[in-house]
Amino acid sequence: MPDTLEALIALTIGLLPGALYTWAFEREAGAWGTRFTDRALRFVGISAIVHALFAPATYLVWVAWVRTGRVAAAQAPLALWLVLVAYVALPLASGTIVGRGTRKRRAWARIFTGPNAAPRAWDHLFAHAPDGWIRLRMKSGVWLSGAFATQTGGGARSYATGYPDEQDLYLVQAVDVDPQTGEFLTDAEGHPVLTDAEGHPVLRGSGILVRWEEVEYLEFIEA
């Protein structure tokens, strides 16, 4: 640990780009590297890249303004402030772009995150905000079903917690199914009674909140 104020400031400035990048990335894609070692490596790696890109500008500022004492004497131009803005804005913008590309499963994002960025299959499925139908077989043997929708007319949406939180799932619209088989119910003539004219499930107008530890089987059907 740094034992002087100068060393602490230097360490903070040195790791700040990596911290800003990680914060922006996780705001878009999720907190996929929350262990201390993961974060430390990410901070150091990203900070090294940013400092390498900023090396010419940093050298010029140091030689022309800091070393000469012009900054301490308040003789630096206001345009120098743009360097500080870029120092903060570049990691934030980069983290946001890569995080958004990861969430949308863009092929180019794998250059930065690797082929398997999500820490769990749960996050791999729900992180890119899919739309579809979910059927759940609970450990009690009962089947539940609902719509996983990220946008609805009323503004409500489904939600799945991400790493490292416990896996909870909220389905914004429930669908009635046979609690024993998971199939849609039929009338005496074998016609489905819980689908519309086009064969789509009829929504009940209520949501479902379940915990993954209570689920034995999950089936996702993309809309």
Angle in degrees, CA 31, 33, 37, rounded to 5: 145
Between 155 and 44, whose confidence is greater?
44
Asked if residue 192 has pLDDT above 50, the reply is: no
Name all contacts of 126-133 with Cβ < 8 Å and 24+ positions apart: 126/160, 126/162, 127/29, 127/30, 127/102, 127/103, 127/162, 128/103, 128/104, 129/103, 130/220, 130/222, 131/222, 131/223, 132/220, 132/221, 132/222, 132/223, 133/175, 133/201, 133/220, 133/221, 133/223
Per the CB < 8 A criterion, the answer to whether 175 and 167 are in contact is no
Quick one: CA dihedral 3, 91, 110, 120, positive or negative?
positive
**Out of 28-32, 48-52, 152-156, least confident range:** 152-156
Q: 121-222 sits in which CATH class?
A: mainly beta
Report the range out of 9-13, 22-26, 33-37, 43-47 with the highest average pLDDT: 22-26
Asked if residue 187 has pLDDT above 60, the reply is: no
Asked if residue 190 has pLDDT above 60, the reply is: no
Average pLDDT for residues 212-217, to the nearest whole number?
92
pLDDT in tens, 84-121: 888 889 899 999 999 888 888 788 888 888 777 778 88
β-bridge partners, 217: 137
Query: What is the rounded average pLDDT for all residues in the chain?
Result: 79
Average pLDDT for residues 208-217, to the nearest whole number?
92
Quick one: DSSP state of residue 193?
Answer: S
Q: How far apart are CA 20 and CA 26, in angstroms?
A: 10
> pLDDT > 90: what percent of the chain?
13
Between 186 and 106, whose confidence is greater?
106
pLDDT in tens, 18-40: 888 888 888 887 776 666 677 77
Between 137 and 109, whose confidence is greater?
137
Between 116 and 209, whose confidence is greater?
209
Domain positions in the chain: 5-113, 121-222
Q: Which structure tokens are listed for 26?
A: 């996780």
Q: What pLDDT, on the 0 to 100 scale, is given for residue 189?
A: 56
